[in-house]
Homo-oligomer: A and B are copies of this chain.
C-alpha cells in the first residue's frame, strides 16, 4: 500500500486484544473480523481528531462503506494484542477513504492491510456533502498536498 506524503504522525493507533470469539477452526482470527477492527480504527480516528462518529449520526449523516478491501499477510491468534493503525487517505466533498495497517504489538510485522471508501448519506439514503464542521476535524489528519476538492 503506497501512501506518499503520509507522515507517521498522521495515523491513529488503537490496540485490540484478540477475542476467542474472533478466532475460527483454523486457530486464527477469522478474516471478516479485520473489517470490524477497521471500523474501530475509524471511530478512534474521529475521536482523536476531535469528534465522535456518533455525533455525525446524531446530526443526520452517515458515512456508509461503499468499498472495502483487505490483504492478509499473516494470521493473528487468540489473546494477542494487535495495533490497528488508521490513516485518512483521501477526503472529498461527499466521500472519504481510510487506509489501515494491522501490526503485531511490539514488532513491525504487518499482519493485514486494508482500505475502506465511504459515502456521506442522510437518513433517507441521499448522498450529501460532509458538513464543514466535520471536514475541519477530519482534515487535520490528511497527508500534505491532498486537497479535498
Known contacts A23-B24, A32-B33, A35-B35: A72-B67 contact under CB 8 Å:
yes
Q: Is the CB of B72 within 8 A of A69?
A: no
Per the bound structure, the CA–CA distance linking A70 and B27 in Å amounts to: 25
In residues 22-64 of chain A, which contact B (Cβ within 8 Å)? 23-27, 30-33, 35-36, 39-40, 43, 52-54, 57, 62, 64
Name the contact of A69 in the complex, choosing from B52, B57, B70 (C-beta under 8 A).
B70
Say yes or no for A137: interface residue by CB 8 A criterion: no
- Please give, as numbers and ranges, the residues of chain B lying within 8 Å of A23 by CB-CB distance: 24-25
How many of chain A's residues have a CB under 8 angstroms from any CB in B? 35
- Cβ of A64: which chain B residues have Cβ within 8 Å of it? 26, 72
Copies in the assembly, this chain: 4
**Residue A109 at the B interface, CB < 8 A?**
no
Given contacts A26-B62, A54-B79, contact A35 B36 (CB under 8 A): no
Interface status of A66 (Cβ within 8 A of chain B) = yes
Which of chain B's residues has its CB closest to A31's CB?
A: B65
Q: Is the CB of B79 within 8 A of A71?
A: no
- Residue A124 lies at the interface, judged by CB distance under 8 Å to chain B: no
**A residues neighboring B (CB under 8 Å):** 17, 19-21, 23-27, 30-33, 35-36, 39-40, 43, 52-54, 57, 62, 64-72, 77-79
Closest 4 pairs (CB-CB, A-B): A69-B69, A32-B35, A23-B25, A21-B36
